Structure 1
Amino acid sequence: MHKSTSPKRKSFRRVAIATTALVTGGAAAALMAGVTPATAANLASQPDTQIAVFMVPLTILVLAVMFEVARFALRGNLPVDAPARRRAHRHWSPGRGES
């Protein structure tokens, strides 16, 4: 099996713990602020909230794509294209190999 020369993949455990803590903290803060499912449903029915729920992730996605394009473009010259593969010669001709 081929061994990779890239550095070891970072542990997923830290990210999972941090995300769990963030969600738990957010839920606790919402409960302390008095947000109940009824008030959250009332808030979600407003058009401004619906637009924000759609546009905020979309804007973040567009900015992330623009960042990656700029990072790739500013990195320098593109690598040289690999030479074209030679076509494999097939030992077949019409009428040959048919029963």
Structure 2
Amino acid sequence: MHKSTSPKRKSFKVYAISSTAVLVGGVATALIAGVTPATAANLAHQPDAQIVAFMLPLTILVLAMLFEVARIALRGNIPVQARASRSARLQWSTDRAEG
């Protein structure tokens, strides 16, 4: 049997509660700062804001991937790869006509 090298997963409940708290905090901060849909729409027409809206998630994704690669590489033991299963050859009959 295959042994997993990763530790036991934490509960999804913790992640759900923390992400909801961050979302509520962000909304509260935006409301306190006076951001309304009209001002956000006006800001979205500026080219700099459009570039940031595209590049920020992309940059975060690349940094997360680099972090995961470094974490796995520095951990020392590479996760075991599953053996490739042999593909079964299909037995096609030659007496059938196409069409």
Is the structural similarity TM-score above 0.5? yes
Q: Which has the higher contact order (CA 8 A, sep 6+)?
A: 2
Structure-to-structure mapping, 1:27-46, within 5 angstroms: 27-46=27-46
2:72, 2:78 within 8 Å by CA — same for their partners in 1? Answer: no
Identity of aligned residues (%): 68
**Deviation for aligned residue 1:11:** 1.0
Q: How many aligned residue pairs are there?
A: 88
Return the letter of the residue paired with 1:58.
Answer: L
Return the letter of the residue paired with 1:64.
Answer: A
Return the letter of the residue paired with 1:32.
Answer: I
**Deviation for aligned residue 1:80:** 8.6
Cα distance in structure 2, aligned partners of 1:79 and 1:8 = 15
The structure with the largest alpha-carbon Rg is 1
Structure-to-structure mapping, 1:20-99, within 5 angstroms: 20-76=20-76
Structure 2: gaps spanning 5 or more residues? 92-99
Structure 1: gaps spanning 5 or more residues? 93-99
Cα distance in structure 2, aligned partners of 1:7 and 1:21 = 26
CA RMSD, 1 decimal: 3.7
> Is 2:27 aligned against 1:18?
no
- Residues 71/43 of structure 1: CA separation in 2 closer, same or farther (3 Å cut): same
Cα distance in structure 2, aligned partners of 1:86 and 1:21 = 48
